[in-house]
Chains A and B, each alone.
Chain A
Amino acid sequence: MNDSRNEAPAPSRRVSGIGRLLIAVYGVLALAATGRSFVQIASEFEDAPLAYSLSAIAAVVYIVATIALIKRSARWYRIAWITISFELVGVLVVGTLSLVDPALFQHKTVWSVFGQGYGFVPLVLPLLGMWWLARHPVSAETSRRTIRSGRA
Chain B
Amino acid sequence: MIEWFTWLQLAIAVPGGLLCVILGLVGRKPTDLTMGATALVELLLIVQLAAAIAAPLAGNNATGSLLEFYTYLVSAILLPVAAGFWALVERSRWSTVILGLTSLSVAIMLYRMNQIWNVQGS
Say whether B101 contacts A25, CB under 8 Å: yes
Say whether B94 contacts A21, CB under 8 Å: yes
Which parts of B37-88 form the interface with A (CB within 8 Å)?
A: 65, 67-68, 71-72, 75, 78-79, 82-83, 86
Instruction: Take A31-B78, A39-B65 as given contacts and tell me if A18 and B101 are in contact as well, using a CB distance cutoff of 8 Å.
Output: no
Which parts of A21-66 form the interface with B (CB within 8 Å)?
A: 21, 24-25, 27-28, 31-32, 35-36, 38-39, 42-43
Instruction: Take A21-B97, A21-B98, A28-B101 as given contacts and tell me if A35 and B92 are in contact as well, using a CB distance cutoff of 8 Å.
Output: no
Instruction: Take A20-B92, A28-B105, A35-B71 as given contacts and tell me if A43 and B98 are in contact as well, using a CB distance cutoff of 8 Å.
Output: no
Describe B's contact surface by its main secondary structure.
helix
Q: Does B95 contact A (CB under 8 A)?
A: yes
Q: Does A17 contact B (CB under 8 A)?
A: yes
Distance, CA A47 to CA B68, complexed state (A): 16
Nearest CB of chain A from residue B52's CB, rounded to whole Å: 16
Nearest CB of chain B from residue A130's CB, rounded to whole Å: 20
Size class of the A contact interface (CB-based, 8 Å): 10 to 19
Say whether A32 contacts B94, CB under 8 Å: no
Say whether B94 contacts A39, CB under 8 Å: no
Which parts of B85-122 form the interface with A (CB within 8 Å)?
A: 86, 90, 92, 94-95, 97-98, 101-102, 105
Say whether A43 contacts B82, CB under 8 Å: no
Chain B: CB-nearest residue to A20: B94
Within 8 Å by CB of B98, from A17, A24, A32, A36, lies A24
Supply 30 A–B pairs (Cβ within 8 Å), ascending by A: A17-B94, A18-B94, A20-B90, A20-B92, A20-B94, A20-B95, A20-B98, A21-B94, A21-B101, A24-B83, A24-B98, A24-B102, A25-B101, A28-B79, A28-B101, A28-B102, A31-B75, A32-B75, A35-B71, A35-B72, A36-B71, A38-B71, A39-B65, A39-B67, A39-B68, A39-B71, A42-B67, A43-B65, A43-B67, A43-B68
Interface residues of A (CB under 8 A from B): 17-18, 20-21, 24-25, 27-28, 31-32, 35-36, 38-39, 42-43
Task: Please name 15 further chain A to chain B contacts, defined as beta carbons within 8 Å, in addition to the given A28-B79, A28-B101, A31-B75, sorted by A numbering.
Answer: A17-B94, A18-B94, A20-B90, A20-B92, A21-B94, A21-B101, A24-B83, A24-B86, A27-B82, A28-B105, A31-B78, A32-B75, A35-B71, A39-B71, A43-B67
